[in-house]
Amino acid sequence: MIKNVAVIGAGTMGHGIAEVVAIAGYSVYLSDVSQEILNNALEKIRWSLGKLYEKGQLKESDKTIIDRIRTTVGITNELKEVDFVIEAVPEKLDLKRQIFSRLEEIVADTTILSTNTSSLPITEIASAVRRQERVVGTHFFNPPVIMQLVEVIRGNRTSDNTLNTAYEFIKTLNKKPILVHKDVPGFVVNRVLLRIITNACMLVEKNIADYRTVDAVARYKLGLPMGIFELVDYTGVDVNYYVSSAMIERGFKAYQCKILEEMTKRGELGVKSGKGFYTYPSNRYVKVN
């Protein structure tokens, strides 16, 4: 029986996941390393809930929903009552392993520990804890509040009970979970998507087409809602760099895109930094009064 949920990491994915969980009626702890990051996350959630409320897409008021979200700086004892954890910190294996190991000191033995990793094998993250059977992947897509799909991934030691509980829990969030039984880097979605993104990148790096041309093809021929490079900006240039690197390091065959690395080093991270392949006047998902 899941009542209380914790989301660790209040960035692009974490704040959206916390919003989805709160909309479904659960109490949520949202944790990150500073109150400033958490306040920024709450501001984005407020904006998003306001939008959904205006459109009649919420069953309760946006205020009732946001009141279910409590923030906490760091991984503190406040989290000891939670039944389900969703970790959504940056795509760095050591960081995720540290967090899982710290969580295990605090939460009950029955608490399920899930990771929103996009690319890292669940088994590698789970090996940081003693009870690896309770670790599972729950991979959401950006923006979590709008994207329907969630991959529920079985690690090598995930128990049937953990996998089924995670799958049923995701359904209660009004999402469409798919079960992934092979713990391969990038699971199913990113093994398809990263191939598209890295191939698009190769076209640009080899001067076959510029990124605007590739994006026009994606929108006006392939019928995607965004161009490939617009999507990279939207999900984060750095995220795409870390995800593709982690997958390639683990044997996934794809073109190693240099532009993503160079842009990440320059801090051109896409929408969240105001500049990526395109420029963004301000964070377009925060309402400016």
Catalytically active residues are 118, 139, 151, 190
48 binds ligand 3HC (CB under 6 A): yes
29 binds ligand 3HC (CB under 6 A): no
Burial label, 220 (beta-carbon count in 10 A; 0-12, 13-18, 19+): exposed
| 85 vs 101: CA distance, rounded Å | 13
Q: Give all strands (DSSP E) within the chain, no chain letters.
A: 4-8, 27-32, 69-73, 84-87, 112-115, 135-139, 149-153, 176-180
Nearer to ligand 3HC, 280 or 285 (CB): 285
Q: Which stretch binds ligand 3HC (CB under 6 A): 33-41, 97-105, 145-153, 154-162?
A: 145-153
Amino acid at 173: L
259 binds ligand 3HC (CB under 6 A): no
239 binds ligand 3HC (CB under 6 A): yes
167 touches 177 (CB < 8 A): yes
Distance, first Cα to last Cα, the chain: 41
| 89 vs 131: CA distance, rounded Å | 21
Q: Give all strands (DSSP E) within 132-269, no chain letters.
A: 135-139, 149-153, 176-180
Q: Contact with ligand 3HC (CB under 6 A): which of 46, 51, 171, 212? A: 51
| 18 vs 1: CA distance, rounded Å | 18
Q: Contact with ligand 3HC (CB under 6 A): which of 9, 14, 137, 143? A: 143
What sign has the CA pseudo-torsion 63, 66, 70, 73?
negative
Nearer to ligand 3HC, 158 or 235 (CB): 235
| 191 vs 130: CA distance, rounded Å | 29
Q: Contact with ligand 3HC (CB under 6 A): which of 235, 238, 244, 270? A: 235
31 binds ligand 3HC (CB under 6 A): no
Number of residues that bind ligand 3HC (CB under 6 A): 19
157 binds ligand 3HC (CB under 6 A): no
Nearer to ligand 3HC, 155 or 186 (CB): 186
Nearer to ligand 3HC, 4 or 229 (CB): 229
In the bound state, the residue with its beta carbon closest to ligand 3HC is: 118
What residue has token string 């590698």? Answer: 124
State the CB neighbour count (10 A cutoff) for residue 160: 9
State the CB neighbour count (10 A cutoff) for residue 254: 18
Nearer to ligand 3HC, 83 or 230 (CB): 230
Instruction: Give, for 18, the enclosing helix (H) or strand (E).
Output: helix 12-23
Cα 99 from chain centroid?
16
Tokens found for residue 106 = 């605090």
Q: Which stretch binds ligand 3HC (CB under 6 A): 105-113, 140-148, 248-256, 273-281?
A: 140-148
Q: Which stretch binds ligand 3HC (CB under 6 A): 30-38, 142-150, 165-173, 274-282?
A: 142-150
**Least CB distance to ligand 3HC at residue 144 (A):** 8
Q: Contact with ligand 3HC (CB under 6 A): which of 5, 145, 166, 218? A: 145
118 binds ligand 3HC (CB under 6 A): yes
| Contact residues for ligand 3HC, defined by CB under 6 A | 48, 51-52, 118, 141-143, 145-147, 190, 193, 225-226, 231, 235, 239, 243, 285
